[in-house]
Amino acid sequence: MTNASPESGPAAEAQPVLSVRGGALRVRDRVLWSGLDLDVRAGEFIAVLGGNGTGKTSLLRAMLGERRLDEGTVLVDGHAAHRGHRRIGYIPQQKIAAPGTPLRGRDLVALGVNGTRWGPPISTRADRQRVDALLEAVGAQAFADRPLGSLSGGEQQRLRVAQSLADDPTLLLCDEPLMSLDLNHQRAVSELIDARRREHGTAVVFVTHDINPVLGMVDRVLYLAQGRFTVGRPDEVLRDDVLSRLYGTPVEVFRSRGRVIVVGVPETEHHHEVIA
């Protein structure tokens, strides 16, 4: 484990929005990661990278208070992570609504806006305007009044992004939010998330298999592999020597036309960001 980026400077003085100390998670007898220290400050954009099963979603679930760490603590806004935190926006890993789901896209976003996630929403004119603004931001007006179950995976994903931003989150947890999106919408959604953190200081933790669509936005990378991790700026982490040490085998990192390509990741890691 390494921490390539020492936390210093003025931003380091403010209380982090999210703080993990000594975090460890095990599944059966396998250590997903241990000794994890991570502070995420207002407006920071952290990408979480790693192969299938390295514990990325489990880490988000710990931040949501849905899963207990085996060791260590997770604080959100200075308090122990707990379920139902109003100021956490969450984009879950792709979940396609069942074909018969009658809820409309607009209703899904409205649930985020008026905060009544349970029970019938009472919508005001301001709420409706906010829903319209969010639908416009993700380019979803054209299908907002259709039942969710009739929408494509990418259309549903854009609505989930809109919903996650609705409640003015201080922390946005994104689990592969670009999955199923074509390139135009990958760009639109990642720019929307980036704008959110720049304009409102929302801290972003963004799980992804492919760093490239967000490479220019990311402040730091948390890279999970082989029960270990490394944290640092993309140029500090996405390097031959750092990733070879992390994987315990020679790994090469190439840069081509602004994209990063990682080659040599062990088969067992099932990586997708590798374009070889």
Q: Which residues in this chain contact ligand ATP in the complex, by CB under 6 A?
A: 27, 32, 50, 52-58
User: What value does the CA radius of gyration of the chain take, rounded to a whole number of Å?
Assistant: 19
> CB-wise, 93 or 141, nearer to ligand ATP?
93
> CB-wise, 132 or 273, nearer to ligand ATP?
273
Minimum CB–partner distance for residue 50 and ligand ATP (Å): 6
> CB-wise, 50 or 177, nearer to ligand ATP?
50
Tell the residue number behind the tokens 């298999």, with chain if given. Answer: 209
**242/227 Cα distance (integer angstroms):** 15
Nearest by Cα to 20 from 39, 48, 7: 39
Minimum CB–partner distance for residue 113 and ligand ATP (Å): 28
> CB-wise, 65 or 201, nearer to ligand ATP?
65
Are 250 and 256 a contacting pair, CB within 8 Å? no
**57/55 Cα distance (integer angstroms):** 6
CA distances from 127 to 22, 40, 165, 211 (A): 41, 30, 13, 34
> CB-wise, 34 or 54, nearer to ligand ATP?
54
The amino acid present at 126, given as its one-letter code, is A
On the 0-12 / 13-18 / 19+ scale of CB atoms within 10 A, 131 is buried
> CB-wise, 28 or 257, nearer to ligand ATP?
28
Minimum CB–partner distance for residue 145 and ligand ATP (Å): 32
Helices 153-166 and 105-113 pack at an angle, to 10 degrees, of 20
**261/274 Cα distance (integer angstroms):** 6
Minimum CB–partner distance for residue 132 and ligand ATP (Å): 33
Minimum CB–partner distance for residue 118 and ligand ATP (Å): 24
Minimum CB–partner distance for residue 51 and ligand ATP (Å): 7
